[in-house]
């Protein structure tokens, strides 16, 4: 069972955690990505995530499905926040449950790394000096660039 979504603002970890787990699972793993107060030596005061939902949701679904299939995890839930977030807010939550811990850890790690590479969500950071900057990510490839 796979659940994915985008949330307005900070993500509620308890809500995401409730989407996984069961009596057959010996491992339930929860990963929280939070807004930190620094980036490349600059003090961060907050940020804004923007997403093209019609594109982001299917990509997030694909990443979660891949993580579950590749690592043998039974249940996966992934929610990424969009909009304004402050330092300490939860920007992404990944919950994974499986019969054994190794699969849960591997699936969670795969999912967060692929989110960073492929998810069409953009980050506009705000700094303590009053400036802001779009943080460079990895540009998603268009279908025509992917090859055969």
Domains annotated for the chain, with CATH where assigned, are 2-136 (3.90.1170.40)
The reported pTM is 0.89
Q: Which residue has the higher pLDDT, 58 or 144?
A: 58
pLDDT, position 42: 95
pLDDT, position 26: 94
| Cβ atoms 1, 65 nearer than 8 A | no
pLDDT, position 34: 98
Region of 46 on the Ramachandran plot (φ > 0 left; ψ -120 to 50 alpha; else beta): left
Report pLDDT digits (tens) over 1-41: 999 999 999 999 999 999 999 999 999 999 999 999 999 99
């Amino acid at each position: 069972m796979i659940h994915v979504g985008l949330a307005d603002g900070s993500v509620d970890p308890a809500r995401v955690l409730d989407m996984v787990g069961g009596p057959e699972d010996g491992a339930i793993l929860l990963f929280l990505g939070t807004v930190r107060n620094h980036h490349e030596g600059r003090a961060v005061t907050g940020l804004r995530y923007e997403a093209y939902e019609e594109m982001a949701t299917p990509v997030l679904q694909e990443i979660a499905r891949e993580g579950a299939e590749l690592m043998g995890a039974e249940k996966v839930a992934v929610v990424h926040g969009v909009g304004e977030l402050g330092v300490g807010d939860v920007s992404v939550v990944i919950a994974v449950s499986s019969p054994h811990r190794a699969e849960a850890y591997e699936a969670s790690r795969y999912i967060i790394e692929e989110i960073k590479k492929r998810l069409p969500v953009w980050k506009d950071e705000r700094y303590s000096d009053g400036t802001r900057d779009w943080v460079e990510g990895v540009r998603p490839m268009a279908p025509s660039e992917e090859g055969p």
